[in-house]
Each structure stands twice: as structure tokens, then as C-alpha cells.
Structure 1
Amino acid sequence: MKTQSKGYTRYLLVTVFVAAFGGFLFGYDQGVMSGAINFIGPVFHMSSGVLGFVSGGIPLGAFFGCLIAGWLADKVGRKIVMFVSAILFTISGLGCAAATSVTIMIAARLIGGLGIGMVSTLVPVYIAEIAPKEIRGKMVGGYQLAIATGIFIVYLVNAIIANTHSMAWNQDVGWRMMFLAGMIPGIIFFLLLFAIPESPRFLINKDQEDRAASILQRMSVQPKEEIDAQVKGIKQNVIAESQNKSFTKDLFKKGTRMALFVAIMCSVFQQLTGVNAVGYYAPTIFKDAGAGADAAMIETVFIGVIKVLFVAFFMGLIDKLGRKRMLKWGSYAMALCLFIIAVLFAQDPITKAFNIFIIVLIVLHTASFEMSWGGGTWVLISEMFPNKIRGRASSIASAALWLATYVVTQLFPVMLDKLGSVWTFVIFGLFCVAMGLFIQIFFKETAGKSLEQIQQDQKAGSID
């Protein structure tokens, strides 16, 4: 097998690519509503509250999908549950496209949310379990790159559909085409999953060391002796964990309970940056800032490009600079952008120059997010828990993230309406300051350490 100079094989890169493609589904479904929301509201005569609930169907469904995924993943494996997520996502796209009522639309969105919750829990965990420690952050970051790519593609699809047809056509057919196109990545993901193996660490946990060693050997250029030693070390860790039969006791034992606290807080904080709320309502924000409807959609596509570009930077830096540094300074950079945006929105009237400055600041905020909390949160969740309970523990943190997403999605339009743009952005800016302080106080660096070493350091209380 041809190998790469970095010490890993093409087989590893292909496997990571396929698994990370699950993030494309996440990104597509996160972004599709930003284009469809302007057309489905009048069609179904939705109030702002109902429209918010339709938008929030994905994060609400994902909350429950996360909880299901973790338990299933530790029982039957990561790969099978990813297959299920692909099927649910495909069904959701068809259901939304064919919806004839608000009830059907909400049901389809909830089904899609179940699939997105599953994939958002398992893909980072799966990649973390197969990737070498030296590049684990970069590989897990590939999941965020897929999310950003999915968002960019759906923004592009939305813009093409919306800007090449009349309003009447878009209200009748266009928004259905936006959702129907989402079936394509779901089907592709399902087919690609046949090409990747089960997680070696899951197999070792199920006493299948020989099979796990074979998979690890295909993914690494290390000699067989080092692979055997790695498998032995993982097995010893599994045996030590197996002495406790209670998931609850495992979750709240020394070291793990602090990891759970940090993971849940980081999951919630990721949504309190306001980035997903901005993403859902980006065309509306640009339109309020003075852009026309068509220009707002085009500017949203540009945001998608920024996401992809800066996730790529994140992947190149996360293992070199470390998680802590990037999360902390990313928080403060986002806070600064949000505070300045608030000041600009306070101007009356908002001039054309201010409109341009607001768009620039939203771009900078997006870039800061993708360079820090966008992928960093998924990296942390994927590497902080013991092998035995990694699926279920990660599902709790992921569920917290999706619950926070749902709450923010519901509250963001209400905040804009009741508090106005100024105070809405001030509040999110204050949250960003709190995030930076939290990372500085509570998070200890995990870059460059094996998953087993992270667990040992947590038990000893010495991660730094």
C-alpha cells in the first residue's frame, strides 16, 4: 500500500473522508432552511412562532438522536448507526419536499434531526478512535470542514434556485427543490459507508483484537510490533474500565465527571456564539442591513466560502497550536466582532458604509468561529471520554449542544423582535467573553496525547 510521508496511509485518509462526509449532511440540513424560510412561511401561512418551530425541528430531533446514538454505538458499533443516520436524512429530504402541511414538514424535520443527531455524535468519535494522536485534531476537524462545505453547497443551491426563478415559482416549487436536493448527499453517504471498517477501539472492547489490529495496520505505517503494543495498551485500558459495570458510576468517577462538565459546557457555549442563529437567518440579517433579497442570498453564499476556507486553516493549526489557545482567542475575537456590530446597528440611519462594515464583521465573526469553536468543540467531545463509555458520554455532550441549538434557534428571532439587533448582538458578545474565561480556567490541553493517555491523566488530575 502506498503511504504518505506523514506516517499514515491513504486508507486512513479515505476512511476519514467517508466518515466526515456525514458532516456534509449536517451542514446541508443546517443551511437549507435559510433559503427555504422566505418561501414556505407564506405558503403555509405560518406565524413567526410556527416558522421558528419548523426551523428548530432539526436541533430538537437531533437532541433525541444523540441520546439514541450513544447507547446504540456502544452496543452494536459506530458504523451501523451511521447507516441508520443516512437513511433518516434521506427520508427527511423527501418528506420536506413533498410536505402538504405544516404537520408533515415538522415531522420530516424531526426525522432528519434524529439522523443528524446520530451522525454528529458518532462521526467525531469514530474519527478520533482511528486517527493517530499526532493528527487527531486535524482529522476530526475534517468533520467540521464537511459541515462547512455542506453549508456552502446548500447556500449555493438556494441562491441558484431563488435567483433564477420568480417568487411565485419559488413559493410553489423552488423550496421543494431545495429540500429534495438534500436526498443526494444522504444516498451518497449511505453507499460510501460500505467502504470503511468498524472502529478498532470498539472492536477491542468486544474482544476482537485481531480484527482491530488488522485495521490499525492498514491505517498506519508503523511496524507490526508497535501496532500490537498499541492494541495491547487499548486492551489493558478496556480491562481496567470493565471492572465497573455501571455506566453512571463510570461517568461520574474521578476525572470523567470533570471531562463531562467541560464537554457539556463547551457544547452549549458553541451555540451561544450566535453563529448558527446567524446562519439560519443570514439572508434576513443582510436584508435588514440594507441589501436587497437577491444580494442577501449572494452574500450568504460568500459566508459559506469563508466557512470552508477558515475550517481548512483550523485543521492545519489545531494540532500545532493546541485546543486551548485557539478556543480562547477565538472567543475574544468573536466577542469583539459582535460588540462592534451592535454599535453599528445602533446608528440611525445605517449608511451604506455601515452596511458594508456589518457584513465584513459578520464574515470576521464567522471566520473566528470556524478557526476555534466550530471544529474545536467536536474535537473535545470526541477525545475526552474513556473507551468503554465514549459513545454514550459523547452523546450526552452532543445532546446538550443540540438542545442549546434548538433554544437559540427559537429565541433568536424573538430576541431580534423584542430586544432589537443591538442588544441581541451585545448578549451574544458577552457569552463569547464568558467562553474565553471558561477555557482559560477549566480546560487543560489534550493535543498530542493518545486517547488512553488522556484518560490516565484525567484520573491523576494532571492534564495540562
Structure 2
Amino acid sequence: MPGSDELDLAASSEDSSSYADLSMAVPALEESKKLSNPLGGLEPDELVVRATEYCELHGITEEEDIRAFQIGAQLAGNIEEWNAIHGISEEEKAVLQEEVEHKWKNPRMLYLIVAICSLCATVQGMDETVVNGAQAFYKHQFGIGGDSARDTWLLGLVNGAPYLCCAVFGCWLTHPMNQRLGRRGTIFVCEIVSIIACIWQAVTNNWWHLFIARCALGFGLGPKSATTPMFAAECAPPRLRGALVMQWQMWTAFGIMLGYAADLALYEVPDVGNIVGLRWRLMLASAALPAILCAGLVWTIPESPRWYLNKEKPIQAYQSMCRLRFIKIQAARDIFYADALLNAEKSVSRKAGMKELLTVRRNRNAFVASEIVMFMQQFCGINVVAYYSTEIFLAANFKERAALFASFGFGVINFVFALPAFWTIDTFGRRNLLLATFPGPVPFTYSAEAYPLYIRPIGMSCATATTWFFNFLLAVTWPSLQSTFTSTGAFSWYAGWNIIGFVLVLLFLPETKGHTLEELDAVFDVPVSSLIRYGKEEFIWFWKSKIFRQDVPKPVPPHSSALGDRITPLVVVPAVSEA
């Protein structure tokens, strides 16, 4: 019960308005559960009727297409029993069987979309790290390379400018840009902004001019970082969706490595004529090359079918989906299901609000957990190395070329060790990986699945803004921290935050691995004191069981009594909401 726990009382108070908020949220939570399968429970005949009406309503008149929707609707209602559906040909059955047994076998167009989305991530990684090597040279040319408080703060401000712009402006442009321009259009505009900003940075001649150019870069980073994973998810078949969404983090790590490689490759470039600092200018401009490639390729792929549906253009959505699937019944199935899901989302999205995010215990616990992981993704300190590794190695008396080479080595390690996180996140669990380390993909994945669907857009907006803001804070403060406390002292500061992060994860983050939407409601709808008590018990159990090898029972998560044995855990693929 909401009033059974003192910590919950402090957070949501025992007044009548709090109970009113909770009672108003219950229907929204119940409707949100329907989003896990909005067609569940419908009989095959009813699905056929609905499909026929759908075709009549939207002007789909070809017999082949009508048949595809009639069969596709039945598949959407119960995808696991396609063998029992009347009218499917042997050839179609073979394709559906291949879809189950070989989820990576898909049309080339789908993989072209994946490649372009991966290229977008690579551009983002380069945008973030080419400055790593360049700053070692432009800071002296622009007169901000000293140890004074003025110089260190200005250097941090210039380096962190894109992330400040992302947090304050860029992230909040995602929705209007997607509504007006579509997924492809948003990506194209973001890449054009990146191209202009990269070249602009290369022709600046003072620190404040470079600061403005880097701020402009943030207008491309923010909307692109939200749109690209969403685009991939909306085009992917259900069994592949989670893997493709998580590709964003992996290829961003590849772009980070590529940024270091560009810095190293351009180190020997001499000044030419009156161009002073040509090498750092080329370093900053180098990120424009993959952006040009991405901007040119994005129009060769179809628009997101989900975006067409949102714009009430189902024929175009179906045509787009047909290019991404082998046979028409697959395309019709996914369009019919997506349309039903979109209508279900519209029925509950209007109920969502910040007040409900903070006053409803289930939502509030998810919000606290999400903010913790997004905050610690930055304050674990790993991005300090990503943005300032060259400066750190120079401070350790490395030569310039050796410092750039060491930075490249860090980039390679960062990319290589991003791979195990993808293989283990559904094996070891989010909570265990976070307690052991803070791999990049975990906070984003955790935040995406923690919220109920009806409030997820608001929750993810907060999560994204949080990570970009603290990203900026990290970038702007490091030069001053390093100058004041030396590298050892500054890293000790972040070591301390990692200890705090470990405690926060241990006490406030329930495990979300392998749970359905209904189960996640039970996982998060528990008193805060129960989460804290479980964290303490688990910590004691670990030491007794794993360290001292004692035979002690493992503590039971606080949500277990609510779930019991009535549901078999499934792997949850976060649903995609309109930007």
C-alpha cells in the first residue's frame, strides 16, 4: 500500500490529492499493459473482418494486398501460431519459418538502413572525439592554454559547448523535427548541420568563435541521437529490434575510435602559407567526411513505415514496409500491428504528465532509477578519458605523438569492450552489469524499458536531457579539476562518485532483465524501503556466499510475492514511441 512505508510517505505524502493522483493513474497503467499486444484476445475471424475494413477505409483495393492484410492481421494477433492460419502458401510458410529460425536473414534494404544508422552513430562518435587531439594545439593558438582559472574554464567551455546545446536546445527539437521532416529528413538535416559545424570549426580564429561553431554542432547531435535508434527500431522485424537499437552505442564507440585515428593520422600535417594550425583544423573538419556520406545515402532508403502511419498515410507505410520484408503478408502483418499499437498509444498518451511521473510510486521508482543510471553514465568518469585523454597523457609527460597514439589505443579498447555488453546484458542482467561496471549500452537500455509505455516519451526526454547536461558538466569542469588537483586528484574525485554510484544502484535499482510489461509494473511498484532492504541483503549474501563460501539462501526480490509463478519471464524489447 502507498502509505506503508516512511520513505514513500516523504516522497508522495499522505494527503488526499496523492491518493487521487494514484487512483487516476490506475486506468492509464492498465491501458498501458494493453500496448504489449493491442490485438491479443481477438479471434481469427474478427481479425479478418478488421483487416478487410482497414483495406476499405484506406483505399487498398488490389486482391493480393487485401489477402495479405487478412492473413497479416491473423499473424499480428498471434504470431506464434501461423501454421494454423488458413490460406498461407507453402512458400510463405517457409519464409515465416526462416524468420523464426534465422532472425538475421532479411532483405538487403533493411541492412542498408542499419548501415546508414550505424554510419550516423559513427559520425556522432567522431564529432565527440576529434576535439580530443585538436585541443592540444588550438588552445595555445587561441590563448587559453595556460593554467589560470580563466584558461581552464574557457577550454572546458569550448570543449563542452555541443553538449550544453544538446541539453538545452537540441534534445527538445527532436519531436518537432520528426513531425515535420520525418526520420530521413531529420537525419539529413542533422548531418548537414554536422558538416557545416565541422567546417566552421576549422576556419575559426579565436576561442569564442570556436565556441559558437561547436554550439551549432549540438543542434545536430541532439535530434540525431534520438531519431536514429528510433528509425532502426521502426524498420526492424520484432525479433531483431532490440539488437538493432543497441547497435547505436556500439557504432558510436567505433566513431570515437575513428576520431582518435583521424587525430593521429593528421598530426604530421604542416602549416601551409598563412594557414596557422592546419593540422588541428583538419582534425576538426575530418568528422564532416562520414557526415557527407551519410547525408548522401539517407535518401536511398525508404521512410519509416511508422512515421507514415502517424501521418495517416497507410498506403505509403505499406509500400515502405514491403521494401523491408521478403513477402507481402509480413509487411501487412507489421503495418496492421503497428497501426493498432499507434492507436492504443494515442488513447493513453494524453494521460501522461510530469505530475504523474513523480507522484505515482510505480512511475517515480522508475524515474529515480533512470536518473541514477543516466547521471552515473557520465559521472563514472569514462567520458573524461574520451574527451581529454590526449591532455591527460601530455600532463603525464608523453610526447605529442605518443599521447595521440595512446588515445587511439584507448579508443580501440573502448570499442572492443563495448561488444561483451551486448552479449551479456540479457544473460547477467542490467543490475549486475551496472554493479560491476558502467558499460555505455546499459543506462540507455534500462531507461528505455523502465517506464510504462504511456509515460515513456516524457521519461526518456528527462533521461536524455540528464545525460547530455552532465556530459557538458563533465567536459567543462575537467580542465579546472586537473589544473587544481592534478590528474590523480581529479580521477580520485570520479572514483568517489563510482562508490556512490555503486551504492545507489545497489539500493534503488531493481532488475528489469527478462520481464514483460505487466511484470515490470510489479517490479517497480514496491516501497522504496523494500528496495533498500533487498539491496543490503543481497550485498551481505554476496560476501557470505561468494567470498566466504557459506551456504546461505539468496534473498528474494521485493516484487516476487506480487508476481508469484503466474508469468514466465520473457525478453522485453522496448516499444518505440513517437519522438
Is TM more than 0.5 here? yes
User: What residue is the counterpart of 1:40 in the other structure?
Assistant: 138
- Matched to 1:45, the amino acid is G
CA displacement at 1:86 relative to structure 2: 1.1
Distance in 2 (CA, whole Å) between partners of 1:228 and 1:253 is 36
Distance in 2 (CA, whole Å) between partners of 1:395 and 1:285 is 33
CA displacement at 1:385 relative to structure 2: 4.9
Distance in 2 (CA, whole Å) between partners of 1:144 and 1:108 is 25
User: What residue is the counterpart of 1:380 in the other structure?
Assistant: 446
Which residue, 482, 491, 511 being the options, matches 1:416?
482
After superposition, the Cα gap between the structure-2 partners of 1:205 and 1:122, relative to the gap in structure 1 and judged at 3 Å, is same
Q: Higher relative CO (CA 8 A, sep ≥ 6), structure 1 or 2?
A: 1
CA displacement at 1:91 relative to structure 2: 1.2
CA displacement at 1:8 relative to structure 2: 5.3
Question: Is the CA contact 2:233–2:241 (under 8 Å) kept in the aligned structure 1?
Answer: yes
Which residue, 373, 376, 379 being the options, matches 1:272?
379
After superposition, the Cα gap between the structure-2 partners of 1:7 and 1:141, relative to the gap in structure 1 and judged at 3 Å, is closer
* CA-to-aligned-CA distance 1:52-74 (integer Å, 9 cap, x gap): 21111121122134432343256
Q: Does 1:15 align with 2:113?
A: yes
Give secondary structure in 1 for the equivalent of 2:398: coil
User: What residue is the counterpart of 2:286 in the other structure?
Assistant: 181
Distance in 2 (CA, whole Å) between partners of 1:384 and 1:195 is 35
Distance in 1 (CA, whole Å) between partners of 2:309 and 2:430 is 28
Percent pairwise identity: 24
Give secondary structure in 1 for the equivalent of 2:162: helix
Give secondary structure in 1 for the equivalent of 2:418: helix
Question: Is the CA contact 2:510–2:523 (under 8 Å) kept in the aligned structure 1?
Answer: no
TM-score by length of 1: 0.78
Question: Is the CA contact 1:140–1:379 (under 8 Å) kept in the aligned structure 2?
Answer: no
CA displacement at 1:89 relative to structure 2: 0.9
Distance in 2 (CA, whole Å) between partners of 1:167 and 1:273 is 41
After superposition, the Cα gap between the structure-2 partners of 1:102 and 1:166, relative to the gap in structure 1 and judged at 3 Å, is closer
User: What residue is the counterpart of 1:102 in the other structure?
Assistant: 207
Question: Is the CA contact 2:380–2:495 (under 8 Å) kept in the aligned structure 1?
Answer: yes
Q: Does 1:427 align with 2:493?
A: yes
- Matched to 2:482, the amino acid is L
Distance in 2 (CA, whole Å) between partners of 1:272 and 1:67 is 20
Name which of structure 1's ranges 433-442 and 25-34 shifts more when overlaid on structure 2.
433-442
Q: Does 1:72 align with 2:176?
A: yes
* CA-to-aligned-CA distance 1:347-391 (integer Å, 9 cap, x gap): xxxxxxxxxxxxxxxxxxxxxxxxx2x122233344445667655
After superposition, the Cα gap between the structure-2 partners of 1:207 and 1:447, relative to the gap in structure 1 and judged at 3 Å, is farther
Q: Does 1:85 align with 2:151?
A: no
Question: Is the CA contact 1:241–1:388 (under 8 Å) kept in the aligned structure 2?
Answer: yes
Distance in 2 (CA, whole Å) between partners of 1:228 and 1:210 is 10
Residue correspondence of structure 1 range 123-138 to structure 2 within 5 A: 123-132=228-237, 134-138=239-243
Q: Does 1:149 align with 2:149?
A: no
* CA-to-aligned-CA distance 1:257-292 (integer Å, 9 cap, x gap): 443333333222111011111122111222333432
Question: Is the CA contact 1:64–1:117 (under 8 Å) kept in the aligned structure 2?
Answer: no
CA displacement at 1:35 relative to structure 2: 0.9
Residue correspondence of structure 1 range 40-439 to structure 2 within 5 A: 40-46=138-144, 47-72=151-176, 75-76=179-180, 77-132=182-237, 134-163=239-268, 165=270, 172-208=277-313, 211-212=316-317, 215=320, 219=324, 224=330, 227=334, 230-231=337-338, 234-235=341-342, 237-244=344-351, 247-248=353-354, 251=357, 254=360, 255-331=362-438, 372=439, 374-385=440-451, 393-439=459-505
CA displacement at 1:158 relative to structure 2: 0.8
- Matched to 2:114, the amino acid is V
Distance in 2 (CA, whole Å) between partners of 1:248 and 1:204 is 27
TM-score by length of 2: 0.64
* CA-to-aligned-CA distance 1:135-184 (integer Å, 9 cap, x gap): 44432221122211211112111112114548999952111111222221
Distance in 2 (CA, whole Å) between partners of 1:449 and 1:79 is 33
Name which of structure 1's ranges 175-184 and 79-88 shifts more when overlaid on structure 2.
79-88
Which structure: larger Rg?
2
- Matched to 1:416, the amino acid is Q
Name which of structure 1's ranges 42-51 and 67-76 shifts more when overlaid on structure 2.
67-76
| RMSD, aligned CA | 3.5
User: What residue is the counterpart of 1:341 in the other structure?
Assistant: none
After superposition, the Cα gap between the structure-2 partners of 1:239 and 1:60, relative to the gap in structure 1 and judged at 3 Å, is closer
Aligned length: 421
User: What residue is the counterpart of 1:363 in the other structure?
Assistant: none
User: What residue is the counterpart of 2:27 in the other structure?
Assistant: none
After superposition, the Cα gap between the structure-2 partners of 1:382 and 1:132, relative to the gap in structure 1 and judged at 3 Å, is farther
Name which of structure 1's ranges 186-195 and 106-115 shifts more when overlaid on structure 2.
186-195
Distance in 1 (CA, whole Å) between partners of 2:404 and 2:272 is 14
Name which of structure 1's ranges 436-445 and 411-420 shifts more when overlaid on structure 2.
436-445
Give secondary structure in 1 for the equivalent of 2:205: coil
* CA-to-aligned-CA distance 1:190-213 (integer Å, 9 cap, x gap): 222223444444444444555556
Question: Is the CA contact 2:354–2:458 (under 8 Å) kept in the aligned structure 1?
Answer: no
Distance in 1 (CA, whole Å) between partners of 2:474 and 2:302 is 36
CA displacement at 1:110 relative to structure 2: 0.1
Name which of structure 1's ranges 81-90 and 281-290 shifts more when overlaid on structure 2.
281-290
After superposition, the Cα gap between the structure-2 partners of 1:132 and 1:297, relative to the gap in structure 1 and judged at 3 Å, is same
Name which of structure 1's ranges 267-276 and 207-216 shifts more when overlaid on structure 2.
207-216
Give secondary structure in 1 for the equivalent of 2:260: helix
Question: Is the CA contact 1:267–1:400 (under 8 Å) kept in the aligned structure 2?
Answer: yes
After superposition, the Cα gap between the structure-2 partners of 1:386 and 1:212, relative to the gap in structure 1 and judged at 3 Å, is farther
- Matched to 2:106, the amino acid is T
* CA-to-aligned-CA distance 1:26-57 (integer Å, 9 cap, x gap): 21121111111111111111222221211111
- Matched to 1:85, the amino acid is C
Name which of structure 1's ranges 290-299 and 204-213 shifts more when overlaid on structure 2.
204-213
After superposition, the Cα gap between the structure-2 partners of 1:144 and 1:85, relative to the gap in structure 1 and judged at 3 Å, is same
Question: Is the CA contact 1:93–1:179 (under 8 Å) kept in the aligned structure 2?
Answer: yes
After superposition, the Cα gap between the structure-2 partners of 1:179 and 1:7, relative to the gap in structure 1 and judged at 3 Å, is closer
**Structure 2 unaligned runs (5+)?**
1-91, 145-150, 527-558, 564-568, 570-579
